Amino acid sequence: MLISGYIDLDEHTSIRRFRSGIPRLLNKRFDPDDLSEALQAAQLENLKGPAEDRKAYRTVVRVVSVRRLNNDPIAEVIVSAWNPKEAVALPADQILSDVPLGLDEIEGARFMANVNIYAKSHQDLFFANFEIAASPPADWLPNGGSN
């Protein structure tokens, strides 16, 4: 469990990087009932393993853009198996540390990664073990894959 006054600031960088090991996030102005639930969830995960919303599954992750947040490169990604309409930010180096690509090569690329696709919100998502995904068959893409 992590209690922080900086969740909004650090969600896309330092927190996202370690999110798989954090069963619950609480803002420092938490409600006492939230603390009780977070402690119970953390204890249950420690005893019985992760709940369904904290289990990672292999899925496609598509990088839609790369931007900078302060000095950190951030990848905006779509996880279709979670929510195909909402981009999620994560440190680009989470991807780059697993694949032999440079920062300028990941925008538009598809990867396979372990993601907890049953997460309730983007704050709960975590990512691990990126690999370059095979290209989809040309007949799956609009105009046969041509521009």
- Tell me whether residue 17 is in a domain: yes
Range of the domain at 51: 2-138
**Listing from the earlier edge strand, what are the strands of the sheet with 110-115?**
83-91, 72-79, 57-69, 110-115, 127-132
Domain total for the chain?
1
- Tell me whether residue 80 is in a domain: yes
- Tell me whether residue 143 is in a domain: no
- Tell me whether residue 125 is in a domain: yes
- Tell me whether residue 15 is in a domain: yes
From first to last of its 147 residues, the chain has per-residue pLDDT tens of: 777 765 565 666 676 777 777 777 778 787 888 888 878 888 888 888 888 999 999 999 999 999 998 888 999 999 999 999 999 999 999 999 999 999 999 999 999 999 999 999 998 999 999 999 998 788 887 776 555
* Residue 60 to residue 37: CA distance in whole angstroms: 31
- Tell me whether residue 147 is in a domain: no
CATH at 81: 2.40.50
